[in-house]
Amino acid sequence: MAAKYVIGIDLGTTNSAVSYAEIKPGADPFEAANVQVLPIAQLTNRGEVRDEDLFPSFLYLPGSSDFPAGTLALPWDAERGYAAGRLAQKRGVENAGRLVSSAKSWLSHSGVDRTAPLLPFRAPEGVEQISPVEASRRYLQHLREAWDYKMPEAPFTEQNVLVTVPASFDAVARELTLEAARSAGYRDITLLEEPQAAFYAWIERHPDWRERVQLGDLILVVDIGGGTTDFTLIAVTDQNGELSLNRVAVGEHILLGGDNIDLALATTISQQLAEKGTRLDSRQLQTLWSNCRVAKEKLLEPGSKAKEQTVTILGQGRGLVGGTIKAALSRDDVERILGEGFFPAVTSSDMPLRQRRSGFQELGLPYAADPAITKQMARFLRQQAATSEHGSVRRGPSGLACPTHVLFNGGVLNAAMVRDRVIATLNSWLAEEGMAPVKPLSGEDLMHAVARGAAYYGLARHGRGVRIRGGVPRTYYVGIESAMPSIPGFAAPLKALTVVPFGMEEGTETRIPGREFGLVVGESAEFRFLTSSIRKNDQPGDLIEDISGELEELAPMEVAFEHGESSSEVVPVSFETVVTETGMLQLWCVARDGRRWKLEFNVRERVEA
């Protein structure tokens, strides 16, 4: 059965969301997308299921006496043994030791085994722990089940599904996200970067986008979520006489976001309590951290006039009235910590500080050493200008990449004061470069933009909508060892087979025609890749005899492909090339009997940050 809908899923660090749009084969390509937000059924209190437009990305793993029997039941699962979503978030504020949070940040952490039971992190003895992959699987499973509950006439597994990931996720994090989705019952899955999805949401809301930007404009997407900060640059270019959009730079993974802000607020309150003689232990600080998230969101939500929010922590000791500690988080403290610590006024030459590292460290998430997000933005714009070969990047006299527009995404940027500080900082840099002030691309629902944009992109893949171009900036080759008799003191000559032509669009694939090569399986072998920014006319299947001069060799990969037999062999294979929406080259080696092996690496120019 053909898919009726495209479904966009924002699997967020703090909140997840689902949007969808009807595909309508044969419809006018310029017809409005009509993207809808799916209400997500979830437990909001014990035994109470309600629809909410966001699904908090939290799991609560209850003890034997946490919930009366049957109160965790869902309409589609009467035996559910854990809480997910809104109820989990609420209960976790009271008992943080059983709360799984920030699973997405752990999924991106290359320094740990992401399939190991790590969460809740620092769980008390006796508390069950699960892996970041398993937590992600449970979130995705709930979203699939919530869809089927609301849309029984269009089963989830028969629809086109797009799941978003941070632009800076590494290959392992992306693959583990796909693994979690497949384990949750997903079939037709495509991964899409969150900043691109946010920009697609802006296009969906503004069909007249070509009247709002012009040729030569440079759009900075600032995405600050619960756990990560991402920067992306999109250039407005010309394609066949029409305005086109081209993603020209993506920043590296910065583990810095709302979680850091909440911890800073919790630490401030903890110090205030200590000055009054009340000291919190690590468990209480963890609970305070969760409480500060809720209090901060209430203080900064649009229209809020409150000067402070009360936070409550379960106490220890006989001298505490009611066994609890009460404190207040003030708006002044929130604005001071945001303004001075996370969004300070800096120059475009102020780079993030590199923290001196201790020889021994406690295991945990590798948070950014410098919490100043404005400095991280300065480094992105400075290093992007220094490293990018793309001619569409608008630069100032000092070499700084100078955006004409800024698009915000992520829950942290719901706060007007944060958006204002980012704009003021950018404008001060642009003034130094003699450039006009940046223009905000406003009017978006920041909490749903990524999910909405993913659904819009799904329609664009069906010919209804605009796609952001992101062709690879180089030609890529795989090294082929020549079949020659061995000669003492000389290695067999290496030839280069073109597998990715210059400008190949992300989200496309190609087959290498009429050629077979031998693939070593059953033992470890070295695979060599080369690239060229000069040779732009080589086509898939072209074999380059002389690799000196114009080709640059990349770091080799050592892989042992499984064979299933005790001995190794050389298997004749043909090649299929896929460049994914997230900038990964997948080189599939296909045997005559249908067996397939995959090599994968990044072909996207990134900015280290």
Residue 434, amino acid: G
- pLDDT of 392 higher than 70: no
What size, in residues, is the chain? 609
C-alpha–C-alpha distance, residues 119 and 135, integer Å: 8
Secondary structure of residue 514 in the 3-state scheme: coil
* H or E element that contains 44: strand 40-45
Please, are residues 499 and 519 in contact by the beta-carbon 8 Å criterion? no
Q: What are the DSSP calls for 46-94, one per residue?
A: TTEEEEES-EE--EE---TTSS-TTTT-BTTBTT--SEESHHHHHHHHH
Give me the chain's average pLDDT, please.
Answer: 87
| Count of C-beta atoms within a 10 Å radius of residue 102 | 25
Residue 260 tokens, joined: 């850091």
From its phi and psi, is residue 420 left (phi > 0), alpha (psi between -120 and 50) or beta?
alpha
β-bridge mates for residue 495, sequence order? 480
pLDDT of the residue at 604: 63
From its phi and psi, is residue 547 left (phi > 0), alpha (psi between -120 and 50) or beta?
alpha
β-bridge mates for residue 222, sequence order? 231, 408
Tell me the CATH architecture of domain 210-255+366-460: 2-Layer Sandwich (3.30)
Please, are residues 20 and 38 in contact by the beta-carbon 8 Å criterion? yes
pLDDT of the residue at 363: 52
Residue 427's pLDDT band (cuts 50, 70, 90): very high
pLDDT of the residue at 391: 58
Q: Do 5-192 and 258-342 show the same overall fold?
A: no
- Distances in Å between the Cα of 171 and the Cα atoms of 56, 165, 226, 278, 458 are 25, 11, 21, 46, 22
Task: For 498-546, write each residue's pLDDT tens digit.
Answer: 999 988 887 888 998 778 999 989 888 889 898 887 888 899 999 988 7
Ranges of each domain in the chain: 5-192, 210-255+366-460, 258-342, 475-607
pLDDT of the residue at 567: 72
For the ranges 27-41, 80-94, 328-342, 386-400, the lowest mean pLDDT is seen at 386-400
- pLDDT of 605 higher than 60: no
- pLDDT of 360 higher than 50: no
C-alpha–C-alpha distance, residues 79 and 538, integer Å: 59
Buried-state track 432-467, b at ≥16 Cβ within 10 A, e below 16: ebebeebeebeebebbbbbbbbbbbbbbbbbebbbb
For the ranges 185-199, 363-377, 529-543, the lowest mean pLDDT is seen at 363-377
Average pLDDT over residues 385-401: 74
pLDDT of the residue at 319: 43
Its pTM stands at 0.80
β-bridge mates for residue 371, sequence order? none
Please, are residues 200 and 456 in contact by the beta-carbon 8 Å criterion? yes
What is the percent of the chain where pLDDT is above 70? Answer: 91
Q: What are the DSSP calls for 432-494, one per residue?
A: HTT-PPPEE-----TTTHHHHHHHHHHHHTTTSS---B---SSEEEEEEE-----BTTBPPPE
Residue 483's pLDDT band (cuts 50, 70, 90): low
C-alpha–C-alpha distance, residues 371 and 339, integer Å: 11
| Count of C-beta atoms within a 10 Å radius of residue 30 | 8
- Distances in Å between the Cα of 165 and the Cα atoms of 108, 239, 380, 531, 598 are 10, 28, 19, 27, 21
Class level of CATH domain 258-342: alpha beta
Q: What is the fold of 5-192?
A: Nucleotidyltransferase; domain 5 (3.30.420)
pLDDT of the residue at 321: 45
